[in-house]
Every structure is written in structure tokens, then in C-alpha cells.
Structure 1
Amino acid sequence: MSEVPFRLGAVPALSRSTVDRQEGLRADSGRLRARWPKAKVLLVDKYGRTPVPVEAVRTVPSTGIPLGTRNALDIGAEPPEDAAFLGQWADVDYWAIPGSPPDDALTVSISGGWGVDQEAPFAEGHAWIELRGHGALLDDTSAGLLTTAEALRNWHWRGRFCARCGGPTRRLRFGWATQCVTCGREEYPRTDPAVICLVHDDIGVNGEHVLLARQPIWPPDRYSVLAGFVEAGESLEGCVTREILEEVGVPVRDVRYLGSQPWPFPRSIMLGFAARTDPGAPLVPADGEIEDAKWVSRAELKAGFAGANDQLKLPGTTSIAHVMLKAWADAGS
């Protein structure tokens, strides 16, 4: 029996990043323009998809996939107005610009999040994949680059007009700020904190059962841990306690931090926690939010990860929920 509280056994898929993204790099206009000719560029479409080598995603298992970047000079002699600087890696600058697959693109089936196959556009030897379903397939550098590109894309899409006067905005600082052309107000990328908590029973150090729930809009048999947004004036631990109580009617204690992962859908960061509760406490799913909640044993959870439990479809590998549940399953009580 383990005497040590479980910890994450791996870095969450979208927390992997190798690029240097210091503010000083993107603030140096002369440096960025001088290095543009040797830079690499990601194309990201309006759905957040970007090209990767199709042969890489057809390999089973698919891991460590690189992005299908373009040479910057193939885009233009200098960074276009809608380009966003993502960072530097191995003495190469990386950028993102809007793009899209050709109109005559074919489709290819790729295994995505929750083990569900997804159709992706396919053209010129590349499949256009999206971060939510396929981020875990990418190599560390590519995962970090696409996560940043998707976060900036979503922020710009929602920040086209000034929050003060409603005027249109223009981009500044190579994608890292906007300015209202009417009143001059500047805005910077925002992140909304959200907690995600693995609740287990109080048997032993790590418990013998984990509390899982499902939303009404999810496909049948899909379950995960509970999550919710941090409210104004609320601590992270306070949010964990409130969200669990609101969603399933269970009071928790011994709240402790596990790790974090950016989740740019549209602009969240998921802050992972663990907590304990009495397994005898009645579960009361929140009407309209939680369709079902149940206790799942460690053996049942392991069977779900192995694909041997038809009544339990677990979070995909891109989500921090997957890493949390896997760490708990491997820890023992």
C-alpha cells in the first residue's frame, strides 16, 4: 500500500514546450525582421487546424509528430500584419499566420481524443489536425507552438472590437497586443483560470475509488473528473470546494495542487488538484450540468484505460484529466 500521495506521472500534453518566448524577443522589432528570412511559419485555419505530415499520423502508434511549417520567405519578404510571433527554438524563429487547406483537399481518418476517429483535410502530403483532439500526438516543440498559436488565434478572434468604445482594433507587438483605432486603448492576451479536481475516497493515502461524472451533451459512457471556472474574488482551493459541492453535492477536504495545462478553447488554463471525501456521502448531480456521477474502482479505471471497459470512456491523452487519472490509477491506495 502506498504511503505517498500520488503525483502526476507525466507532463500534460499541452504543457510541453521548448521554445523561448521571452517578452524581450517579441519586443525587438529589428531582431525579428532581420531573422524573418530564416524563420518557420505555421498555418492555422479558422478551426484551429494546422498541417502535419500525413505519413506521421498514419503510423501506429503516432507520437512525436512535427508540424508542417513553411519557410517564411515563401509567405513574404517580411512578417504580414496578421502574423504572430510564437518564440525561438534551436536558433529558429517560429510564427503563425491564418491559412486554410485547399478547396479540393481530400479527407483522411485520424484517431482523436476519447478514442474517436476524426476526419481531417488532406492535401500536398499533409493532414490538417486540431489541437484538442490531436495535441498529444505532436512532439514537445510542436505541442508548445500550436498551443500558443491557438491561444492567440482565439484571443484575436474575440478581441476584434474595443471593450471600452466598441471601435475596431489593430494588432501590435507581433500579435501580442491590440490597440483600438478609435480611443487608443491597448489590450493583451487573457487567460481564464479553471480548476479540475480528482476526488478520491479516504481509504488509505490515495483511496480505492475515484469520483467521475458526465455532462448531458457527452456521448454515452464518457466520464471524467470535475472542473469549473474560478470566480472573481475566489481562491483556487475555494473554487475546488465550491465546484465539487455544486456539481455533485459532496464536501471535500485535503485539497492539494497537482499541476497545470493551458487549454486554449478559447482561453483557459486548467489547474489540476486532488481532494478527498467520504465515500458514503450521497451524490447529488447538479440538474442540467451533470447527468450522472459515480464512484469507480481502481481496477475499473485501469480496465477503461486498457479499452476493456465498455461502460467507461475516459478522457483523451491531450487532456490533463487523462494524466491525473492515469497517475491515480498507477499509484495504488
Structure 2
Amino acid sequence: MIPETDVTFAGSFLDRADRLRADAEGMAQRLADPVSRVLPFWRGKPLFDLTEDGPRLAWLSAVDPLILACPEPLLFMGLDEAGTAHFAADLSHLAPPDQAPAAFIDHQTLDLSETRKFIDLRAIMADIDHRDAGIAAAAKGIFEWRLTHGFCAMCGGRNAVSHAGWRFECRACGRLHFPRTDPVVIMLVLDGDRVLLGRQSGWPERMYSLLAGFMEPGETIEEAVRREVSEEAGIMVGEVRYVTSQPWPFPASLMIGCTGRAETTAITRDPHELEDAIWVGKAEIAEALAGRHDRIAPARKGAVAQVILRAWVDGVIPSAD
């Protein structure tokens, strides 16, 4: 098994404390406490402090004027070891999507300088501290969900945020709506000391990665792995084993990492899915991960595909017999 600390967006230093979410009065008291901390987001981007030790999430006091003026309900993220409440706030109202927020913010309240910026998670995910990544991913996922689920799927009525930000409740029919997570299988398909890699046409030059795809209703994880590999590359897969998972907040997926033993090796590529598909030896993957391969660049650092490939090269995941 791959340690959770090796996977970006897995883990958090907070207790999510679901037991407290239904206590509206208690939440209001925590939001009125200057000690409570709030992570600002703008257009899906968390605020980071760019410290000498790397980027860290930038937390404001719950009574900061920017937070008090936020028109959107805050999201309760949980409690730290000292019992301090942590929230997230969507400050997207501060500026239109095509303009930076700096000009709309009082710099005495929030210093958006060279060391404090709203940064896209995908752009910075390789450098995020493990203690912060899971918090940022969870908050981003909820805020993205709010953007696309503002109306009830049952009656069309307007939804209202409830349960400390973790639910929607229809004002018209009372139906409860919960955040959506879409499961995706991503697989290390092995033939001895070779792995199957694919490339999509829109990817950066030379980039190859593990095959992946969304699960369908009524499938097991194993069935989804076999179906996706067969559809995309024409390879039949036998034994499937789970190795790790990664929350992927772009917008709201759960990457389920597996290994699969190839039972056939002849590639029949689906041109609508893949621009290329190849078998690559372990020694070549090691070169690619080290940045020394002249043809293959692996999936970006922080993506679970690279974590799985590195674990295979290092022997954490055994090769297929």
C-alpha cells in the first residue's frame, strides 16, 4: 500500500467534526470568535502565503472585515488539535472573473503582495504542504458543487446552504442534497516488467500517463478497470488490486488507483480516447521520472499517476509475474 502522505490532497490536519455541523447556534458562536480561522477562496483559488519553506494556506480571523462582509455562507472545515474552528469563505464577489481581486480589496485588510496570493490548486499542487492539501481540496470541491447545484433536482426550487455548508436544502420541497463525488479508476496495467501508458491529444508534448476513466452505475471497481482498459487500448485485464486513492478537486472526483494484470498485450487503440498507447519497461519509467527520457514525460508531480508509477519503480508495488 502507498502511504497517504505520498498522495497530494489526501489527508488534513483537521478533525472534520461532522457531529458539530447541525448545531447552528454553536456554529454562529464559533464564527463570532476572533480566534476562529477562515481560509479565503476567490474563483476557486485558495489564498496562499508563499513562505521560505513553501506555500502554506493563509488563514484570516473569523472577524476580519472581509469575512464579515462575505455574502455567501461559510463552510465549516473542522477543528485543529487545540479545538480552534476552521472555516472557508468564497470571496468571488470581490472582483469579476476577468479581473484580479487586488484592486477591489483594502490592502490594509488583506495584503495581496508578492508573498500572499490566490493561486490555482492545479498549478501549485506539486508544492502544497501535505497538511494543507486535503483542506484546500475539500473546500474547493464544496464551492464548485455550490456553483452547479443551486436548484433542486426534484422540483426546481432554490436550494439553501445548510449543515454548516455541507448540504443543500430545497426551500420549496425540503429535499436534501449532498456534495457529489465522481469515482474514477486509474490503473497500473502490468505485463511483467512493462506498464501500459496512454496519451491524450490535448496533453503537453511527450506526456504519457496511466489509463483512467469514470466508473459507471452498477460496476465494481474491478469491472470498471477491465472495461476502461479494454475500451481504450483493447487489452484484456485479469486480476485487479487496489493500491491507493486521491481526492481530485477538478471539479470533484475520487481517483481510485489499482494494479491490473494484463492477459493480452496487443494494443488496439480507440482513437477517440487516446492519441497513443505504448508498453514501457520499468527502467525507462525510472528514466522518465528522473526527467532523463527523450520521448516520455510522466504525469505531473502531485498527480496520483506519478505516485503509482514511482511506487512501482521503487518496488512498493510488485511487478506482474
What range is the shorter-chain TM-score in? 0.7 to 0.9
Distance 1:14 1:310 in 2: 30
CA distance in 1, matches of 2:22, 2:197: 45
SS class of match (1:324):
helix
Aligned residue in 2 for 1:92: 84
> Partner of 1:45 in structure 2?
42
TM-score, structure 2 normalization = 0.86
Equivalent residues of 2:27, 2:164 under 8 A apart: no
Instruction: State the number of aligned residues.
Output: 298
2: CA distance between counterparts of 1:314 and 1:128?
A: 27
Q: How far does the alpha carbon of each residue in 1:19-74 deviate from its partner, in whole angstroms, 9 at most, with x for none?
A: 1113102222233222221111111122x212212344xx6xx4xx3201111110
C-alpha contact (below 8 Å) 1:134/1:318 kept by paired residues: no
Of 65, 69, 73, 2:63 maps to 73
**Aligned 8 A contact 2:141 2:252 in 1:** yes
Normalising by structure 1, report the TM-score.
0.83
| Other structure's SS at 2:283 match | helix
**Corresponding position of 1:102:** 101
CA 1:34/1:104 → structure 2, altered by over 3 Å: closer, same or farther? closer
Equivalence map 1:1-333=2 (5 Å):
7-8=1-2, 11-36=6-31, 37=33, 38-46=35-43, 48-56=44-52, 62=54, 65-74=55-64, 75-76=66-67, 81-90=72-81, 91-99=83-91, 102-104=101-103, 123=113, 125-201=115-191, 203=192, 208-278=193-263, 281-331=265-315, 333=319
In structure 2, C-alpha distance between the alignment counterparts of 1:98 and 1:35, rounded to whole Å: 18
TM-fit CA distance, 1:138 = 2.0
SS at match of 1:284: coil
Per-residue CA deviation, residues 218-274 of structure 1 (Å, 9 max, x unaligned), is 122111001111111111101111110001000011110101111122211111100
Q: Is the 8 A contact 1:254 1:276 kept in 2?
A: yes
Q: Distance in 1 between matches of 2:294 and 2:76?
A: 44
Alpha carbons of structure 1 residues 102 and 124: separation in structure 2 relative to 1, 3 Å: farther
Larger displacement relative to structure 2 (300-309 or 124-133)? 124-133
Q: Which residue of 1 aligns with 2:95?
A: none
Partners of 2:91 and 2:298 in 1: CA distance:
33
SS at match of 1:73: coil
Q: 2-side partners of 1:177 and 1:246: how far apart? A: 36
Q: Secondary structure at the match of 1:217?
A: coil
Deviation at 1:80, TM superposition (A): 5.9
Greater shift, 129-138 or 221-230, is seen at 129-138
CA distance 1:77–1:54, change in 2 (3 Å): closer
Q: Secondary structure at the match of 1:247?
A: helix
Higher relative contact order (CA 8 A, sep 6+): 1
Moved more, 174-183 or 225-234: 174-183
SS in 2 for 1:154: helix
For 1:93 and 1:138, the matched residues in 2 are separated by: 22
| Amino acid in the other structure paired with 1:53 | D
Aligned CA distance change for structure 1 residues 248 and 40 (closer, same or farther; 3 Å): same
2:246 partner SS: strand
The one-letter amino acid paired with 2:78 is G
Q: Is the CA contact 1:241–1:251 (under 8 Å) kept in the aligned structure 2? A: yes
Alpha-carbon distance in 1 for matches of 2:18, 2:142: 15
SS at match of 2:101: coil
- Any conservation in 2 of the 1:19–1:144 contact (CA below 8 Å)? no
SS of equivalent to 2:63: helix
Letter in 2 for 1:45: W
For structure 1, the 5+ residue unaligned runs are: 1-6, 106-121
Q: For residues 70 and 27 of structure 2, what CA distance do their matches in structure 1 show?
A: 9
Instruction: Report SS of the residue matched to 1:42.
Output: strand
Shift of residue 81, structure 1, vs aligned partner = 4.4
Distance 1:210 1:323, change over 3 A: same
For the residues of structure 2 that align with 1:26 and 1:139, how far apart are their CA atoms? 26
- Between 240-249 and 258-267, the greater mean CA deviation after superposition: 258-267
Residue in 2 that maps onto 1:118? none
Give the structure 1 partner of residue 108 of structure 2.
none
Query: 1:111 is matched with which residue?
Result: none
Q: Which moved more, 1:236-245 or 1:311-320?
A: 311-320
